[in-house]
Structure 1
Amino acid sequence: MTALRAAFANDHRVRLLQGAGELFPALIEAMDAALADIQFETYIFDCTGAGASVAEALMRAARRGVRTQLVVDGVGTGPLPPEWAARLRGAGVHLRVYSPLGPLGLLLPQRWRRLHRKLCVVDGRLLFCGGINVLDDFHDPNYGVLAAPRFDFAVQATGSLVTAASETMEQLWWRMQAVRDARQRRLPQALQDLRAASAARDAAEAACAGAMRAALVLRDNVRNRSRIEKAYRRAIGAARHEVIIANAYFLPGGKLRRALVMAARRGVRVRLLLQGKYEYFMQYHAARPVYGALLEAGVEIYEYAPSFLHAKVAVIDAHGERPWATVGSSNLDPLSLLLAREANVVVEDAAFAQDLRQRLVHAMQNAGQRMDPARYAGRPLRQRVLDRIAFGLMRLALWVTGKQY
């Protein structure tokens, strides 16, 4: 797989899953059938409500001798409640925290690089990938009980890309082990772990090189800095009929914005389903200054109102000759596209693309509020000021990190 284009073949089966209500039962069934190995990475691991059932499945697998590796993010999850951490480790789950914040927290820009991907590989044969955290659909750590379920997607997949996912997760695991060894001054062991990570990386790239109908597209801060954004831009540039994107935190850079504007101007119907329910000040308000040029070009923007929209998906030309769809963890904003570790699955399959399209169109028609260009242009001064403040803060944050977007 090159940075610009993934090659596709017929060795995959990819199933679309909507929300934790569909993902968790499939995930638990796979874990309960695991024979040898479970690799799990997630940004948030919350044991409230339905999240506890995933934790219980991991512990059941570990108790019967399945090697169970769990990596959670140091910001998204933070320290697990002591009771759950003790139970997981007591059952034999190998638990690690990616980039714990330390005493200075997020004051250090290097701590802004987070593990945001949501991946699980069972026995090296079954992959789960998407935007869904281990988090109950009706619970939010900051807002409590939700009136409607969170809107999000994942996929369950078999085929060649499972090897690529497994190898990249193993690579991260050994790199984290190497850092731990170095901090404890076990330098020979650290060098051995780094060599293992390098071998895992080479194997992952070799796995990605074969022809695949579905591809795993990764984003990191080493070799894969822009793969996900380039995959989006290439697909949008090839669109002939329709582009539908549902994205939680939408603040695309100039190249991606121009790709959307150019698609709309050449007659492609472009629809965006974005957050309408306020979640975070920065992400919500910083995105709004970019809406003007999109609306002027004819892009349709719908805001999802019943609950938090957390999806990171897109479907292009579902009924055309070259259907394209992606489901993953990457938002279209600078935090995801420039800093975080992300993972998306890209699928070129008519039935899959049409399934995703149907669900997104249903959400736009039944739960989305279309943004009126005139109303947007005449929004109150206070809102304009907040939008510009958030946009300026985002640009300042990028300047601090030395990134261009």
Structure 2
Amino acid sequence: MARANGFTDGHRVHLLQGAEELFPALIEAMDGARSEIQFETYIFDCTGSGATVAEALIRAAARGVCTRLVVDGVGTGALQPAWIARLRAAGVQYCVYSPLGPLGLLLPHQWRRLHRKLCVVDRRLLFCGGINVLDDFHDPNHGPLDAPRLDFAVQASGSLVALASDAMEQLWWRMQILRSARRHHLPQALQALRAVGARHAVAAAGTSMRLALVLRDNVRHRSRIEQAYRRAIGAAQREIIIASAYFLPGGKLRQALVMAARRGVRVRLLLQGRYEYFMQYHATRPVYGALLDAGVEIHEYAPSFLHAKVAVIDALGERPWATVGSSNLDPLSLLLAREANVVVQDVAFARELRERLVHAMQHAGRRMDPARYAGRPLRQRVLDRIAFGLMRLALWVAGRRYF
């Protein structure tokens, strides 16, 4: 079995942009499922096109497909009772990851969330990326959107699928163990424990595309995703393009970007230009200065919310590197959440992703002018520093070193 952080050959992978491209592919795969669907997501919202995904899960479970759905206790919140009833009546095994207790997010251990977005169908197809089950034109906090949210996912086949399936299976049974233990169903907990790891990965034939599944958790894989980024940035020769919805990299990652720019690599960042959350919006700005001084280009996406978590390096060279996943480059993703990224070494894929990101920067991005950044209003600078300080305080409370 290939290691989860190592590249394996023999894959096919397709880039999908937004729910408009992901949901039809996802629904087609689920409607063709014969034995099993494993689904994990941070947000599961049945408004608009999100309902079509829920309906596909219901159809699959109703015809006897083993269908498991895991949602995050913060991201999804309280799903409408009518939808929960329909899912369970059809036979969908529905579970909430780390539901909030009476103290909510006041307890630091509750900051560890399930943020990855994964779906495996029949251990044959994998969907991985940053796209939640959420309509492109709907935001739970801000209502209707004038333009679609910018986000990406991939559909992949090959030996990587089994690795993702095993990781999802392991999380599922750990959740069942904890639930059984809390209810004092110890025999059932022991039975679930024996089920963990019962499956093994199998290789699938395909093309010569090389992929790796990079997971982040709070046990064995605490820094895998950040390490993958730093290695790729350190090896960059011509160009780095990163799109990150929430961007607050730690000191080592910031230094890697600065060093790349200073050695002549063109570094372009596509970041959030619309106000979404106080902390994520304002805490990001204090790190702009050092990056701009080093020659890093910062483009802010404004037509809608940027939700992408992707990067492409040296796409026009002989050894391109690209990643699509759920991990932002901020402390919540890199230190606390469960995340999943697919890394791709393929010329055609890297160039397609680059083309889409360059188009977004040129047609929907506003380049940050260093003079404009330095001259931003006093009120904004104060808010930026407050947010940055609060983020550092929160990490100190959580016992994490980052900056």
TM-score normalized by the length of structure 2: 0.96
Shift in Å, 1:212 = 7.6
Shift in Å, 1:2 = 6.7
CA contact (8 A) 1:6 1:212 kept: no
- Counterpart in 2 of 1:7? 7
Structure 2 gaps of 5+ residues are none
- Rounded to whole Å, the distance in 1 between the matches of 2:189 and 2:55 is 32
- Aligned residue among 354, 359, 363 for 1:357: 354
- Aligned residue among 310, 315, 323 for 1:313: 310
- Rounded to whole Å, the distance in 1 between the matches of 2:364 and 2:197 is 46
- Rounded to whole Å, the distance in 2 between the matches of 1:212 and 1:241 is 22
* RMSD between aligned residues: 1.5
Alignment deviations for residues 322-368 of structure 1 (CA, whole Å, 9 cap, x no partner): 10000000000000000000000000000000000000000000000
- Counterpart in 2 of 1:146? 145
- Counterpart in 2 of 1:281? 278
- Aligned counterparts, 1:156-167, within 5 A: 156-167=155-166
- Counterpart in 1 of 2:39? 40
CA contact (8 A) 1:175 1:194 kept: yes
- Aligned counterparts, 1:184-333, within 5 A: 184-197=183-196, 203=200, 213-333=210-330
- Rounded to whole Å, the distance in 1 between the matches of 2:17 and 2:387 is 31
CA contact (8 A) 2:111 2:336 kept: yes
- Aligned counterparts, 1:43-82, within 5 A: 43-82=42-81
Output the amino acid matched with 2:50.
Answer: G
Shift in Å, 1:188 = 2.6
- Aligned counterparts, 1:366-385, within 5 A: 366-385=363-382
- Rounded to whole Å, the distance in 2 between the matches of 1:181 and 1:97 is 14
- Counterpart in 2 of 1:107? 106
- Rounded to whole Å, the distance in 2 between the matches of 1:247 and 1:59 is 33
Shift in Å, 1:198 = 5.2
- Counterpart in 2 of 1:180? 179
- Counterpart in 2 of 1:128? 127
Shift in Å, 1:190 = 1.4
TM-score normalized by the length of structure 1: 0.96
What is the DSSP-based 3-state SS (H/G/I as helix, E as strand, rest coil) of the residue aligned with 2:51? helix
Percent identity between matched residues is 81
- Rounded to whole Å, the distance in 1 between the matches of 2:61 and 2:188 is 25
Is 1:347 the counterpart of 2:344 in the alignment? Answer: yes
Alignment deviations for residues 4-29 of structure 1 (CA, whole Å, 9 cap, x no partner): x63342x1000000000000000000
- Rounded to whole Å, the distance in 1 between the matches of 2:92 and 2:8 is 35
CA contact (8 A) 2:108 2:398 kept: yes
Alignment deviations for residues 97-138 of structure 1 (CA, whole Å, 9 cap, x no partner): 000001111111111000000000000000000000000000
What is the DSSP-based 3-state SS (H/G/I as helix, E as strand, rest coil) of the residue aligned with 1:23? helix
- Rounded to whole Å, the distance in 1 between the matches of 2:292 and 2:8 is 34
What is the DSSP-based 3-state SS (H/G/I as helix, E as strand, rest coil) of the residue aligned with 1:46? coil
What is the DSSP-based 3-state SS (H/G/I as helix, E as strand, rest coil) of the residue aligned with 1:12? strand
CA contact (8 A) 1:8 1:348 kept: no
- Rounded to whole Å, the distance in 2 between the matches of 1:324 and 1:194 is 38
Shift in Å, 1:186 = 1.3
What is the DSSP-based 3-state SS (H/G/I as helix, E as strand, rest coil) of the residue aligned with 2:47? coil
Shift in Å, 1:199 = 5.0
Output the amino acid matched with 1:107.
Answer: L
Alignment deviations for residues 211-264 of structure 1 (CA, whole Å, 9 cap, x no partner): 981011000000000000000000000000000000000000000000000000
- Rounded to whole Å, the distance in 2 between the matches of 1:307 and 1:139 is 10
More deviation, 321-330/190-199: 190-199
Output the amino acid matched with 2:374.
Answer: A
Shift in Å, 1:197 = 2.6
Output the amino acid matched with 1:70.
Answer: L
- Rounded to whole Å, the distance in 2 between the matches of 1:199 and 1:298 is 51
Number of paired residues? 397
Structure 1 gaps of 5+ residues are none
What is the DSSP-based 3-state SS (H/G/I as helix, E as strand, rest coil) of the residue aligned with 1:344? strand
- Counterpart in 2 of 1:29? 28
CA contact (8 A) 2:242 2:310 kept: yes
CA contact (8 A) 1:160 1:212 kept: no
Shift in Å, 1:371 = 0.1
CA contact (8 A) 2:12 2:209 kept: no
Structure 1 pair 298–355 and aligned structure 2 pair: CA distance change class (3 A): same
